[in-house]
Amino acid sequence: MDNQTSGCPLILSEPSGHSGVEPVLERYESALLMILGFGGFSIILALIHNAVRKHIFHDEHNLDTTFDAGGNVSLSLTAVTVASQLIWPGDILHSATLTAKNGIAGPFWYAVGIIFNIFIFPVFSVQFKTRAPGAKTYLQVIHARFGRNAHIVFCCFALVTNLVITIGILLAGRATIQSLTRDASDEFTLLTMAVLFGSYSLIGGLGTTFYVSYFNACLVFVLLIVFVVKIWHNTDEEYSAIGNVERMYTAISCIKGPEENYDNSYLTFRSGVAFLFGVIEVFVSSAVTYCDQASWQSRIAAKPIQGVYGFLLGGLMWFAIPSTMATTTGLAYLALSAENKTNLLTRGQIDEGLVTPLIAETVLGSAGGILVLTMGAMALMSTGSGEVMAMSSIIVYDIYQTYIRPFRRGLTELDCVLCGKKKKDIIRKKQTNQSRNRCECPDVSCCQPCIDDMKARHGKGHNGTKPPYTCKTHGQYREYQDSLIGFKDWCIVMVTISIIPLGLVVFETGIDLNWIFYSGAIVTIPCFPPVILSIIWVKATGKGLMSGGAAGLVCGVTATLVTASFYEGGLSNFLLNTVQNYAILAGTCSSFGASLLCCIVVSLFTHDIKTVDDENFEWQKMYDIENPLNPWELNYREELKGLEYEGKPTFEQMAETFRKAKLTAYIGGAICIVAFAVVIPGIMAMFPKMDLTQFSFWIWGTQIFAVIMAVIVIVAPMAEEIHKIMKEYRKSAHKMNVGYGQMNVINAEHADQEDGKTPVTNV
């Protein structure tokens, strides 16, 4: 290394010869690995999940279970799923790209910008879960509060958000698969991804996504640790620039870094371009977090306290992956480039995300390429299946069930879906005199005809078919729900198949991951303020939300185009200039600011909230969202134990019951944001340019943090899920024993009656 030290600062030039990543697998090998390997394994998990729901929880034939996994997902499984669905192939690849371009500060601020929204999300989600505990999509809240027009507008926003994210996943997946597979065509990559996304989602629904996400996260962390050991703790002398902290520090400190970095160093947190990128990520990731139904779906599947802890822990798990990957493969790339005295990749190849695959192949040979492909496939499965389920839930609940084939047409938020009469718990005084038009439908949990129907349909009839429903109150609605279950299956299939033509069209346009991710955010961010205000602000109105969304969209697109026109080439160089840093910053800030301001101002002039009763009535619209065959109150009885209420608990009882969850969301989110966005970068920025001791401290810190998260990921979800299943199994066994005991009492009394000893009693 002496010759490098004497040549400081070293300016890395473009590679003069052949550069890039060599494919390590044939197409049939990739197909076997991903479709039969990962896809087959996920289908087995789906079958296991279905067996658990059928034999332990007894709710497998339930539409809601498909999209909320029973509504009682454990804390650690929620955390792992949140982290796993955030691990795009772009995160695995992009974090190293940012290190190669901006140094050690680049991936850190990128990760901070994303987890900023992850840590805030529990604050809003706990409000959602306590104010609309029966909702399966955030669009149902908008429909209940603001009616048809606002609902249609935000259905469009939601589907566009899912479309943008899906396109991003397809582009990232193509880059990963084609860089490591020989002669992998676009059709091959799309067919592979479609099979990975849709196969197990169709069989097991959202619950299987949680199971697969667990194994995906485990594998990603294990492979990440393999890279760490090979690059940072290797005594092999094949590469003199890597293998331990001191060698890598010496090599990297000689390279001249970006002009925006302090002293042109790659080893500094004082990086203007990295900080700017982090600010942009705060706005861009807000669209992915708050406007993506997949994020809400994972939250809806857990109870309030589990969801809060799950998202906070999930954010920490996710942060460990890009930060550790960046300090491993990204810094290894810089060190090896310093040893070579030229970049190992061209600028374009770096932007494509080939840093990590190159380093994997360099230090591990063909096995390294297979490991990267495995990590990419794992990330694709979790994120892609989440988007398939999100789009399917919107189509089933918010389009088909609401507009195409509703059970009853012309209902308002005041009406019972079963009988069409006014609901029992309407609280406005003007409704109290309409007692003759009040709903008198019995609760499904104590409806004896429904109990008889379920017993009769537990087995099959004489000709192999289920007997018809006989309950006059719930029977027709049960038939309707059965038809929705059939439609749900076709919906998942069609959404999965549509991925192939969508991908072919996108690939032909020539757009890249960077463009769709940031330009797409300009279009989807206007949905962010309306969604949040619909959940937390009682005075929000449909007119305010629609005008806010429209204003944000117009202002965001205009600001982006105007700013892009000042760059070289102007709008004639459209794809490049519209994703320049300041064009993105102008567009995202304008989009968010205009949407928020317009929502608030218009709502203040159009709302009719004047009294406490008006406020209660407005919140009641959200509170009444539920499936009458699967009341949300049943899922909360354990938390509500000891409270007296009729039908469902009051607002005050729900607020008091989950007060701890709200405090945890506020306090935990604030602590995490301050720690990662203020304290850690503040401490590191105190050192203008890191010396060997400070560099070692940072590297060891990220590695220890990753190992801790890996242990939690591998151990906690499995232990907690087994405990939950065993608890439910014992509960079911106890109920069965009680039932047998009652039958024995009845049989004994019948025997005594025949002997003339005692009369029959009702048990």
What percentage of the chain carries pLDDT values higher than 90? 19
Phi, psi torsion values for 271, nearest 5 degrees: -130, 110
**More confident call, 119 vs 200:** 119
Residue range 637-645: average pLDDT?
Answer: 81
Distances (CA, A) of 370 to 24, 333, 354: 7, 19, 14
Residues 188 and 199: their CA atoms lie apart, in Å, by 16
User: Binning pLDDT at 50, 70 and 90, where does residue 750 land?
Assistant: very low
pLDDT for 463 beyond 70: no
Domain ranges of the chain: 1-39+73-399+634-713, 405-505, 511-609+619-630
The position carrying tokens 């087994």 is 722
Residue range 127-154: average pLDDT?
Answer: 90
What three-state secondary structure class fits 86?
helix
Residue range 114-129: average pLDDT?
Answer: 86
pLDDT tens-digit readout, 385-420? 888 888 988 999 899 999 999 988 877 767 788 888
Distances (CA, A) of 706 to 57, 76, 316, 357: 35, 16, 9, 20
The pLDDT, as a whole number, for residue 526 is 93
* Residues 267 and 103 sit within 8 Å (Cβ to Cβ): yes
> How many other C-beta atoms can be found within 10 angstroms of the C-beta atom of residue 78?
28
Residue 461: what residue type? G
Q: Is the peptide bond before 89 cis (omega within 30 degrees of 0)?
A: no
Q: What one-character DSSP code corresponds to residue 446?
A: G
Residue range 513-539: average pLDDT?
Answer: 89
pTM of the model: 0.83
Tell me the two tokens of residue 33: 């690995």
Residues 458 and 326: their CA atoms lie apart, in Å, by 54
The position carrying tokens 């406020």 is 615
pLDDT for 753 beyond 50: no
* Residues 522 and 588 sit within 8 Å (Cβ to Cβ): yes
The position carrying tokens 């008006």 is 614
> How many other C-beta atoms can be found within 10 angstroms of the C-beta atom of residue 139?
27
Pick the CATH number of 1-39+73-399+634-713 from 2.60.40, 2.60.120, 1.10.357, 1.20.1730: 1.20.1730
Distances (CA, A) of 286 to 464, 514, 593: 51, 16, 13
pLDDT for 756 beyond 50: no
pLDDT tens-digit readout, 9-63? 777 767 765 556 777 788 888 888 777 777 777 777 777 766 776 667 665 556 6
The pLDDT, as a whole number, for residue 732 is 66
Residues 311 and 82: their CA atoms lie apart, in Å, by 7
Residues 581 and 352: their CA atoms lie apart, in Å, by 18
The pLDDT, as a whole number, for residue 428 is 43
pLDDT for 437 beyond 90: no
Length of the chain measured in residues: 763
Residues 698 and 696: their CA atoms lie apart, in Å, by 5
Strand partners, 342: 13
Strand partners, 255: 10
Give me the chain's average pLDDT, please: 81
pLDDT for 136 beyond 60: yes
Distances (CA, A) of 303 to 125, 134, 308, 488, 655: 10, 11, 9, 24, 14
pLDDT for 687 beyond 90: no
The pLDDT, as a whole number, for residue 543 is 94
pLDDT tens-digit readout, 339-375? 888 888 888 788 777 888 888 888 888 888 888 888 7
Q: What one-character DSSP code corresponds to residue 415?
A: B
The pLDDT, as a whole number, for residue 422 is 78
**More confident call, 204 vs 252:** 252
Residues 90 and 94: their CA atoms lie apart, in Å, by 5
